[in-house]
Amino acid sequence: MQPIKIFTIKRAISYIKYINNEKIIVVDDKNTVRIFDLNELKLDGGFKINLPENRLFSNNVSVSNDGKYLALTIAKKNKAAIWNLESKKLAHTVGWHKGEIESVAFDNKSRYLATGGTDGRTHLWNTDTGKMVGNLAPHSDYVTAIGFSQNSVWCATGSYDKSISITNISSMQFAYKMRIHSAMVTKIKFLKDFKMVSGDREGNLVVSNYAKGKVVKRLPKLPDTAVNFIFDHHEKYMFATTKNKNVFLYDLITYDMVTDQFIKTNSTISSIEFVSNLMYLVIGTVDGILYIYDILSDEKELEKYIHDKQYADAYNLIDKNPLLKDSLSYNHLEKIWENTINQAQALLEKSQKETAEHILKPFMSIPSKRMFIQSLFKDFVEFDKFKTLIAKKKYPLAYSLAHKYPTFKQTAYYKHMEKEWKKSFAIARQLMFEKNKEDYIKKLLAPFRGVPEKTPLIQSLSNEKEIYKLLKQKLLQKDFKTFFELVNRHPFLADLDEYEKALNFADKLLKASNSELKKGNYTKVLQYTQMLQDFPMYEEKAKDLTHKASILANFMQLIANKDYDKVYEYVKSEPFLEDNEDFKKIEKKWEEKIKEAEEYSAKGDVKHILESLKHYMKIKDKLPKIGELIKAAYLYQLLSKLKEEVDDSIIEKGFKNYIQMFGLDLEVSDLITLAQKSGRKLDFKGISEGDKRYWYKNHIPLNIFEETL
């Protein structure tokens, strides 16, 4: 595959981000920002940021999804800068780390920036105010990777300590810590359906269910550090890079590595991005080359191969670029193959072997097709014998040959033989309850005696009359539990039309259940799945649908009753409810109120935080988030007071009040150290530490310096 455009920017490319207006933002190691127009395939502006160089193969650069903000770590300053890309000006400088910031990431709604440091801490910052609004569970070593779920509810942090911590940032409740890597975590990306991919320094790639904290699959290992990976628009494929010159392609359906050389460049790859609506893969390298690939550009070449009947070249191209399987050209190619096989088979049925060989010749150089073609011709060596046996109604021998040569089962002759069997057996079943018809039935079915799969059915006509009658009766009564108990005891019944009718009915039940679930008709779903559970092959699906319908029915009732405390409890235990449209509306209102409260928190305004969020104080799930905002407000009150010339006793009182409510956490410890370094004399002997989990049980002062709590 050849790039459709190459740009040379002379400096190593650290980061590439696609934003929704058909543009990509490219940041080099010298912090020069360039904006490229993908429609015109040209440079469309940029600017230089005067900061120390950023590090390649790390996570110290990030751009928000809306293209508004750029975050860069500031080396040796323990801080990160947030730049407004529209005004090209510094918006905020954030920090509060006791070491350098190792990783930065914006959430997908561009509300928050998360910073992870060498101190093992991860702070959450409001992008509009530039103020800290929360702290995630700390790691025992550097925080090296950060990722957010697609709905921005979950945040994952990876560390040099080899672990990944998962936190629900809507509630600020720590969920769990996963220890699934054997080396430093280098990258975390979220997929849909509660899946997450993480990579480490040794090249391990792990797909996890982040809602349950379980490993789904370990992918084939990369030969070096997992530097980056991105997904196509359907999340069927993953493009991964290491510190070499290749792009590795993974199939996320089968979890296989498709190829280790999907794209090969002349230099080490340092960054990669996928542009879904244009189907572009954008690659940046350490020597400053920006490659833009149209991953479906091969389709024109594929079309030419198909037109010229160069099918071997066509399939070889598809092997190199499996994403072509989503193209119309691939569908056309497969249709040609299917039609050609059908034509060849029809010719072989007429003993026109040479003509069949001629039309299949273009496919003979394709290994997978050649094996099928060779098998087809091998089978048809005996086809004349097969036709003769059918013509003479020697069905036992004909069926024997069909089992030996499976392609015979696709022929008109075999289908005719099967049609004769079904017709004869249907007549025999109608006559089985009439008197003096035994001899006629025997004569009617005589040609099929000796056919292994037919013999039990023939014998059952005389021996198992009542079973047939009962099976038909249970089908009419829709008593599928007894129906399948009969089939289980008498396996030959599975060859009857009644069995096929039952399965068709089950398929309709399943489709109807899924349809009614989407419509919100949960009572109907429960009615359908109650029947569906009697079908052994659908039992698990029925149970899953029953569970979801029951949960949703109760959930919607809770929403109708405005019992939001239990609503959030339900979502916590059943994460799939996050995608419920009614719940999304509730969360949207919460987000609006939180945004308002975060602005007050930035000003140290506890009074208005409490007023803004008063209706959420009865929802247990939201108390940790509210507590984080009040805590942050107190921290900003303390920080502001430290800059004033006030008596040490006032400062001491503020610290004591804070510690009695939230405990001696890392953030207040930083401020105490700052105060002591500035010469303030503070005494904390005999103070009892509070627990931030129960902050709401305390008196909540509007000012942390109040005389008594």
Query: What HEC string does 266-335 produce?
Result: CCCEEEEEEECCCCEEEEEECCCEEEEEECCCHHHHHHHHHHCCCHHHHHHHHHHCHHHHHCHHHHHHHH
Residue 151 DSSP symbol: T
Cα separation of 582 and 562, whole Å?
A: 12
Q: Yes or no: say if 99 and 80 are a contact pair by the CB < 8 Å rule.
A: no
Domain limits, the chain: 58-191, 298-365, 583-697
Closest CA to 51 of 40, 43, 60: 60
Instruction: Please list the residues that pair with 307 across neighbouring strands.
Output: none
Phi-psi region of 490 (alpha: psi -120 to 50; beta: other; left: phi over 0): beta
Across the chain, which has 709 residues, the per-10-residue mean pLDDT values are 92 94 94 95 94 95 96 95 96 95 97 97 97 95 97 96 96 92 98 96 97 94 97 95 95 94 94 94 96 92 94 92 90 95 92 93 92 90 92 94 91 93 88 83 91 86 78 92 91 86 95 94 94 94 95 95 95 92 96 97 97 96 96 96 93 95 94 94 91 93 83
The pLDDT of residue 164: 97
Determine whether domain 58-191 maps to CATH 2.130.10.10: yes
* SS3 at position 78: coil
The pLDDT of residue 461: 76
List the end-to-end C-alpha distance of the chain, in Å, as a whole number: 69
The pLDDT of residue 544: 94
Angle, helices 311-320 vs 298-307, to 10°: value is 160
Cα separation of 705 and 648, whole Å?
A: 12
Cα separation of 223 and 237, whole Å?
A: 19
**How would you classify the pairing of strands 79-84 and 89-94?**
antiparallel
CA distance to 13, 69, 583, per residue, from 144 (Å)? 19, 21, 33
The pLDDT of residue 496: 83
The pLDDT of residue 708: 59
Q: What tokens were used for 403? A: 């089992």
Sorted by sequence, the CB contacts under 8 Å of residue 521 that are 6+ apart come out as none
Q: What tokens were used for 512? A: 């109807």
Please give the helix or strand (H or E) that residue 5 lies within, else none.
strand 5-8
CA distance to 96, 97, 623, per residue, from 704 (Å)? 20, 23, 19
Q: Yes or no: say if 212 and 194 are a contact pair by the CB < 8 Å rule.
A: yes
